[in-house]
Structure 1
Amino acid sequence: MANKLIKFPTNFTKSSKNPHYPPSLLRFMTTSKRVQDRSQQKRVHALEIAVEKNKIASKILFLLELLKHEPEQIIPIRSLDQHRRQLNLPKPHKLSDFIRKSPKLFELYKDQRGTTWVGLTKKGEELIEEEERLIAENEETALEHVTRLLMMSVEKVLPLDKIAHFRRDLGLPYDFRKNWVHKYPDCFRVFKNEDDVEFLKLVSWNPSWSVTEVEKKIMGITKAENHVPGMLSLPFPMKFPPDYKKVYRYAGQIENFQKREYLSPYADAKELKAGSVEFDKRAIAVMHEVLSFMNEKRLVTDHLTHFRREFVMPQKLMRILLKHFGIFYVSERGKRFSVFLTEAYEGSELIEKCPLVVWKEKVFSLTGYRGRKKKIETFDDLDGFDDNDLFESDSEDENTIRVDQSFKEDDTMSDVEYESIPRFSEMDIGEVQKAYKET
């Protein structure tokens, strides 16, 4: 409770009566509050910056990975057109303009037939080799986390396609479905169902891996060879925003919630009744555990919702994420919502960074940003911020294909305009009391 504070949701409106959102989207929201209304009023400035950085870096990482798996690590630029959705690069933005923004990583040139190609610079090649080495070094950690995901699942089975959603977050190799999963027959095995869908099935239970991250942190458990998961009453680490001055008024409700017992994510949850207090609090424990496994302690929320059935979590998962804002923070920057484990962040930075996160930040620092600055008054103005500035051409001659030599050492993506994202003053705190009374 002595941690620094993070902003939490307030000032919601009835989403079920709002005609502007389709039913498919409303299913992932609380039935009585809209994420968008909460976000426009009370956002966590630092964590929104982290989301904005990731939006830009993900485009570059996708292109690096695409080139990595080309035979000569080069590709005709016209072939990239089929990947516009993954790059989040809608027309009429030009692919060549996007690539020119990162001359330290990518090169553009024309062959004798006039075909434009994109390839990697020497630095880009070195970064790919470095990532492969780090993934190999991360293999034992990835093995543990994949096994623990299987241990938390109600049937001890997970579809390989769903695990693939976590591939980069867990530090798994690109081809893990073909090779990696077969290297550990003592932990799990691959099988296909009658529809030819591949699944990963737990082979052996590891008691020492059934200790939750909360137990390790609070109780200091390091080895537990005979551990049997059961009921827990351990508090979840929480952070609230710095401008939340009146948290002490509701300390009693928060303390009661924290003391309430819940079933370990690794214990059998088949008998839990959906909608019960025990059911919902176990869901919080599952989400906390899953996020703890991820390299950046965050995920897009639909990756969590994909596992509702396997992990025995409630259908209205977003409602729980929003209610327990001291444990989680939900951002709706971009087209997909992201959820953070708030304890893992200090401002916009991870407190503990694994080597793969450090590598990603290195890639980010080499990504060019020279777009025209524009005044951004609100979060809505940020919707096209990175796309427009990354993709708009700086060249008067659109047919010129060359690396822009005017790129300067300090012209990097680390210069995202932090102050362009607005801050908010002290918040309305009525929501925190209501959330803990309802829980």
Structure 2
Amino acid sequence: MAWRLFLTKILTPTLPNPNFLKTSPFSTSFLVTKIPKRLRKKHKKPDSPRTRPVQPDSARIPHFESILNRDSVFRFLTKTKEFLSKQPERVLRLDDAGKLYRELGFPRGRKVVKSIQRHPLIFDVYRHVDNKMWLGFTDFVERLLEEERSIMESMETDRVNKVRKLLMISKEKRIPLSKIYHNRLLFGIPEDFRDRVAKFPEYFRIVVENDGKRILELVNWDPTLAVSELEREFIVNEDKVKKAFKFPVKYGKDLGLDESDTRKLNLLNTLPLVSPYSDGWKFDMWSLEAEKYRVGVVHEFLSLTLEKRASIHNIVEFKEEFSLTRRTYEMLKKQPRTFHLAGTEMNWAVFLKDAYGENGILIQKDPQVVFNEKLRKFAQMQEGEVVSGVGEE
């Protein structure tokens, strides 16, 4: 009996104390197993207004989206060209350029040199006598900028008339100079236009308010300019303008009208349009006439731009002068025959559809637009291609 008890003690495995693992100084529970990056689950980025399209996929027009993508690709070129052009001798110390990511349009946290290297025919980096590296334009671009200046001079009368028309569609016939300056590239207005307005005292007057803000005021009303692009189109093609907008009758379904009668009734509501050069801002804010007026103002504003399009941020900047409401987005969405909204919910643009062909190319191009296209073309070239590039122009 004793030997059986002895063998049982030897052969029966001794179970460890369940509390042993918890208290053992040799526990490895604190170690985290790292999964290789290629095997990790890819988490979808959260949907946000920054990335969510302003239009559903079924309504998006690819060539308008591609224009906005092109602007994004050439943001560094556009912003750096503008910034450098205003600097003394048109040069900038490279150390300073690296801190100006907003002004120069390159991603924060990236090195500015990488953006410069993408456009070797446009920008040049060199060592100055102070032993510092400087950023400037290449000799080739310096010649191109002379061409752009000659375009600005030849188009001065056109640009003056654009500013006059902007003032004429504004509520009080006055707009802060800073707003026009901030949006000058939209209209091809030269950088020094604030000095140029003094040359035209018969058109403009600058008033300095108590807070120091400089306001540009219209001096004389010109009835020959007070004709909107829509009115010109109406004379040429009445049917086209009739189909351009749609202002449905509220509660139209309750009237029991058939499709033909409903269309006729909606057409009566559409015409006549309210001229953006009228005092439409005096209408009741939520009346049909007031909405027609605001639609006309936005249409005329876009017609004055170089590329017949503008970011919503550019439009909203003039909301006080143009009597726009917070429902501008809904207003434009209701007119898909004339306006197209492209981009994301946070940063979308409005296009005049009829100004573009089916391929997304502007039907009528301002000389400044032609120059910008040429500059973008050269910006994509590498060194050695410039001779053939110039030969093709």
Q: In the aligned structure 2, how far is the partner of 1:411 from the partner of 1:52?
A: 27
Partner of 1:241: none
Contact 2:233 2:241 in 1 (8 A): no
Q: Quickly say closer, same or farther: Cα 1:335–1:360, change in 2 above 3 A.
A: farther
Partner of 1:356: 368
Contact 2:274 2:289 in 1 (8 A): yes
Superposed CA deviations along residues 175-219 of structure 1, whole A, max 9, x for unmatched, are 211x11211111120001111111111110101111111111221
Q: Quickly say closer, same or farther: Cα 1:186–1:283, change in 2 above 3 A.
A: same
Number of equivalences: 327
Partner of 2:316: 305
Superposed CA deviations along residues 2-51 of structure 1, whole A, max 9, x for unmatched, are xxxxxxxxxxxxxxxx9956xxx9xxxxxxxx973634453110111111
Report SS of the residue matched to 1:235: helix
- Is 1:76–2:87 an aligned residue pair? no
Q: Which structure: greater helix fraction?
A: 2
Letter in 2 for 1:338: A
Partner of 2:145: 128
- Is 1:205–2:216 an aligned residue pair? no
Q: In the aligned structure 2, how far is the partner of 1:280 from the partner of 1:261?
A: 12
Partner of 2:36: none
Q: In the aligned structure 1, how far is the partner of 2:286 from the partner of 2:74?
A: 39
Q: Which moved more, 1:192-201 or 1:50-59?
A: 50-59
Partner of 1:280: 291
Q: Quickly say closer, same or farther: Cα 1:65–1:165, change in 2 above 3 A.
A: closer
Report SS of the residue matched to 2:202: coil
Partner of 1:186: 202
The 5 Å alignment of 1:312-351 reads: 312-332=323-343, 336-346=347-357, 347-351=359-363
Q: In the aligned structure 2, how far is the partner of 1:91 from the partner of 1:115?
A: 23
Contact 2:188 2:306 in 1 (8 A): yes
Q: In the aligned structure 2, how far is the partner of 1:115 from the partner of 1:334?
A: 43
Q: Quickly say closer, same or farther: Cα 1:185–1:409, change in 2 above 3 A.
A: closer
Q: What is the aligned counterpart of 2:180 among 151, 158, 163?
A: 163
Report SS of the residue matched to 1:104: coil
Report SS of the residue matched to 1:36: coil
The 5 Å alignment of 1:14-33 reads: none
Q: In the aligned structure 1, how far is the partner of 2:230 from the partner of 2:221?
A: 20
Q: Which moved more, 1:116-125 or 1:199-208?
A: 116-125
Report SS of the residue matched to 1:78: helix
Q: When the two structures are superposed, what TM-score results if normalisation uses the length of structure 2?
A: 0.75
The Cα of 1:411 is off from its aligned counterpart by: 12
Higher RCO structure (Cα 8 Å, ≥6 apart)? 1
Contact 1:279 1:313 in 2 (8 A): no
Report SS of the residue matched to 1:189: strand
The Cα of 1:237 is off from its aligned counterpart by: 4.2
Gaps of 5+ in 2: 1-45, 246-258
Partner of 2:156: 139
Contact 2:76 2:115 in 1 (8 A): no
Q: In the aligned structure 1, how far is the partner of 2:169 from the partner of 2:154?
A: 25
Q: In the aligned structure 2, how far is the partner of 1:208 from the partner of 1:286?
A: 17
Letter in 1 for 2:338: I
Report SS of the residue matched to 1:275: coil
Q: In the aligned structure 1, how far is the partner of 2:98 from the partner of 2:47?
A: 34
Q: CA RMSD in A?
A: 3.1
Q: Quickly say closer, same or farther: Cα 1:204–1:37, change in 2 above 3 A.
A: closer
- Is 1:51–2:58 an aligned residue pair? no
Larger radius of gyration: 2
Q: In the aligned structure 2, how far is the partner of 1:409 from the partner of 1:139?
A: 30
Q: Which moved more, 1:289-298 or 1:82-91?
A: 82-91
Q: Quickly say closer, same or farther: Cα 1:56–1:307, change in 2 above 3 A.
A: same
Q: What is the aligned counterpart of 1:291 among 302, 317, 330?
A: 302
Q: In the aligned structure 2, how far is the partner of 1:280 from the partner of 1:173?
A: 33
Partner of 1:235: 242
Report SS of the residue matched to 2:143: helix
Superposed CA deviations along residues 238-269 of structure 1, whole A, max 9, x for unmatched, are 7xxxxxxxxxx999389627743332111112
Contact 1:109 1:117 in 2 (8 A): yes
Letter in 1 for 2:187: L
The Cα of 1:59 is off from its aligned counterpart by: 2.3
Report SS of the residue matched to 1:209: coil
Partner of 1:42: 59
Report SS of the residue matched to 2:193: coil
Q: In the aligned structure 2, how far is the partner of 1:50 from the partner of 1:99?
A: 22
Partner of 1:256: 267
Q: In the aligned structure 2, how far is the partner of 1:35 from the partner of 1:326?
A: 23
Q: Quickly say closer, same or farther: Cα 1:295–1:72, change in 2 above 3 A.
A: same
- Is 1:90–2:107 an aligned residue pair? yes
Q: In the aligned structure 1, how far is the partner of 2:361 from the partner of 2:241?
A: 26
The Cα of 1:137 is off from its aligned counterpart by: 1.0
Q: In the aligned structure 2, how far is the partner of 1:156 from the partner of 1:203?
A: 9
Q: Quickly say closer, same or farther: Cα 1:166–1:70, change in 2 above 3 A.
A: closer
Q: In the aligned structure 1, how far is the partner of 2:98 from the partner of 2:228?
A: 44
Q: Quickly say closer, same or farther: Cα 1:140–1:279, change in 2 above 3 A.
A: same
Gaps of 5+ in 1: 1-17, 26-33, 222-232, 239-248, 370-403, 413-439
Q: Percent identity?
A: 27
Q: What is the aligned counterpart of 1:365 among 377, 389, 392?
A: 377
Superposed CA deviations along residues 66-97 of structure 1, whole A, max 9, x for unmatched, are 22233322221121134211333223321111
Letter in 2 for 1:182: A
Report SS of the residue matched to 2:190: coil
Contact 2:164 2:218 in 1 (8 A): yes
Letter in 2 for 1:137: S
Contact 1:368 1:411 in 2 (8 A): no
